[in-house]
Amino acid sequence: MNKLLYRSMEDGFPVEIIYMKESSFSKRAILVKEIKNGYVKAFCFQKQQFRMFKIEAILTVFPYKKRSIAHYA
C-alpha cells in the first residue's frame, strides 16, 4: 500500500483510496504531494483541494482507473 502512495507522489499519477472516517468509509481519487509523520498530503479531486489523510486510516490504495482527469494538480 505505501509503495503505491510513494509512486503516486514520485511519478505524479492519481490513485484511489478507501479510508475510514470516524465510523464510515470514504473512497477518494487523490494525487499525493507529500508523505510525512504518518500523514499523506494530497490533492483530493472530489473536494478540489488539498487534504490530509492519516495513513493508519487508509484501508487500501489502488491505481485510478478513470482517465477523465485531464490535468493533475
Q: What CATH number does residue 41 fall under?
A: 2.30.30.100
> What is the C-alpha separation between 65 and 17, in angstroms, rounded?
12
- The predicted pLDDT at position 73 comes to 47
**62: nearest Cα among 15, 6, 8:** 15
Residue 72 lies in a domain: no
Residue 15 lies in a domain: yes
Residue 19 lies in a domain: yes
Residue 10 lies in a domain: yes
Q: Are 54 and 42 in contact (CB under 8 A)?
A: no
For residue 58, what are the domain limits?
A: 2-63
The reported pTM is 0.82
> What is the C-alpha separation between 66 and 25, in angstroms, rounded?
20
Domain count, the chain: 1
pLDDT averaged over consecutive 10-residue blocks of the chain (73 residues)?
90 94 92 96 96 96 72 49
